[in-house]
Amino acid sequence: MAEKENSNDKQLAISKIYLKDCSFESPRSPAIFRTSEWKPQTNLNLRSSHADVEDNFHEVVLTITIEARDEDKSLFLIELQQAGIFEIAGYEGEEMQAIVGSFCPNILFPYARETIAAMIQKGGFPEFVLQPINFDALYLQAKQQQAQGAAAEAH
């Protein structure tokens, strides 16, 4: 039988990964499939959120929105929320913020990436490869923006 852990011990575990919400829209189908030229511009928007579930359990949701456009016409729009419940104990302050703001979204991203690729393919569009994302850099950038905003308000 395992010994009871010291309350100062740090713990981080994945309890559950799941698809919370998703939608795929292709407003110009089937006409879009009759064109011979395929040169879409894609816009990617992502964000993550965190909520306490109970005790040491936390839900982190990675939201990704992708819109493909050809000039002023929307080809497809995907909105996806990939979520996970993480057991996080012994972390506080900056460490906790880094875990829910960078580490957890990094764990969720491959699941979201796979779902997005499958949805686009099932929508009749060519293969779409969502490039890796550096969540550590995004987290640091967000922290710097918060600090600059706080400094600007102080003046």
- Within 13 A of 8's CA, how many CA atoms are on the CB side? 0
Residue 54: count other Cβ atoms within 10 Å of its Cβ.
7
Distance separating alpha carbons of residues 101 and 92, to the nearest angstrom: 13
Q: What share of the chain is helix, strand, coil (3-state, %, to 5)?
A: 35, 40, 25
Mean pLDDT value of segment 115-144: 91
Q: Sorting pLDDT into bands at 50, 70 and 90, what band is 1?
A: very low
CATH of span 12-30+39-154:
3.10.420.10
The structure's pTM equals 0.85
pLDDT digits (tens, 9 = 90+) for 25-56: 999 889 888 877 778 899 999 999 999 999 99
Closest Cα to residue 64, out of 42, 86, 97, 89?
A: 42
- Check residue 7 and give its pLDDT: 54
Q: What are the extents of the domains in the chain?
A: 12-30+39-154
The answer to whether 75 touches 68, Cβ cutoff 8 Å, is: yes
Q: Sorting pLDDT into bands at 50, 70 and 90, what band is 155?
A: low
